[in-house]
Amino acid sequence: MVDKVFEKSIIKQFEFDEEVASVFDDMLNRSVPFYKEMQRLSINFACNFLDENDKVYDLGCSTASTLIELSKHCEHNLELIGIDNSTAMLNRAAKKAKAFGVDIELINKDLHDVNYCDAKLILSNYTLQFIRPLQREKLVKKVFDSLKDEGIFIFSEKVISSNSKLNKQSIDEYYEFKKTQGYSEFEISQKREALENVLIPYTEEENKKMILDAGFSHCETIFKWVNFATFIAIK
Ligand SMILES: C[S@@+](CC[C@H](N)C(=O)[O-])C[C@H]1O[C@@H](n2cnc3c(N)ncnc32)[C@H](O)[C@@H]1O
Ligand SMILES: O=C(O)C(=O)C[C@]1(C(=O)O)C=C[C@@H](O)C=C1
């Protein structure tokens, strides 16, 4: 289904509710520049580190697109676990996983309330940005503690520039991208308002500092388009 969620005036802040979940794959593909390229790159990097029966978590898995793609492209059998606190998203994730014949354990919980263990890879694309800053560092530390030695954390985030002039230009560039995806200026402004103080982006440097402060030995950017970045961190 086509994303028309913000064609009407907003009556609440952005939520991953039934209306959003019903159009989410379209929303993501049209709202995150090079989403498919990012997903494929993340999977290619992940597959280089994975072995038979490794455990993989996706934090904020939404409709499980990434775990399904990982399963299709990785030569090894993997233990796949998707976590999300949106029932609407997980309902669709369960249907998609069944349709693709992919065995995924789906956990409907807040990311803070799950005990992750013995993971070789943890994914989290465009999710940390929705976690309150004070909780975010705590969650990343939990990710670090949950990974096996030399485990991998691959995550993607919307990012801001520390230079206000460049940040303004990045935002303008992003909204021009959205227009190329068929969103009207009204939809763009309504979504911006809905996301105010719900999606809280860090700079690229702040993300990397958060990762290194959690104990990771290495973190680098493997993909970036203006104000969206994908990072890989090694325990
Ligand atoms: C932008 S979507 C992630 C997209 C997904 N990773 C992908 O690449 O298709 C953010 C997801 O994180 C989930 N989420 C946000 N905060 C959460 C929390 N505290 N606990 C669990 N899930 C959360 C939302 O329900 C939503 O499905
Ligand atoms: O920042 C925006 O305007 C977006 O639409 C980005 C974003 C995201 O990065 O998660 C916001 C909400 C949806 O999950 C899809 C895309």
- Which pTM does this prediction carry? 0.97
Tally: H helices and E strands in the chain = 9, 8
Distance CA 57, CA 49 (A): 14
Q: Which residues are annotated as a binding site for S-adenosyl-L-methionine?
A: 35, 60-62, 84-85, 110-111, 125, 192
Q: Looking at ligand 1, which residue's alpha carbon is closest to its atom 10?
A: 127
User: Using only C-alpha atoms, what is the Rg of the chain?
Assistant: 17
pLDDT band for position 59 (cuts 50, 70, 90): very high
| Distance from residue 163's CA to the centre of ligand 1 (Å) | 28
Q: How confident is the model at residue 157, as a pLDDT?
A: 98
Q: Looking at ligand 2, which residue's alpha carbon is closest to its atom 14?
A: 28
**Residue that has been written with the tokens 């190329």 in this structure:** 180
Q: How confident is the model at residue 161, as a pLDDT?
A: 98
Q: How confident is the model at residue 130, as a pLDDT?
A: 98
- Pocket perturbation via mutation, ligand 1, pick of 34, 70, 127, 195 by most ligand atoms within 8 A of CB: 127
Distance CA 52, CA 139 (A): 27
Say if CB 227 and CB 174 are below 8 A apart. yes
pLDDT band for position 77 (cuts 50, 70, 90): very high
Q: pLDDT per residue over 137-159, tens digit each?
A: 999 999 999 999 999 999 999 99
- Pocket perturbation via mutation, ligand 2, pick of 62, 158, 178, 207 by most ligand atoms within 8 A of CB: 158
Query: Is the ipTM above a cut-off of 0.90?
Result: yes
| Distance from residue 88's CA to the centre of ligand 1 (Å) | 11
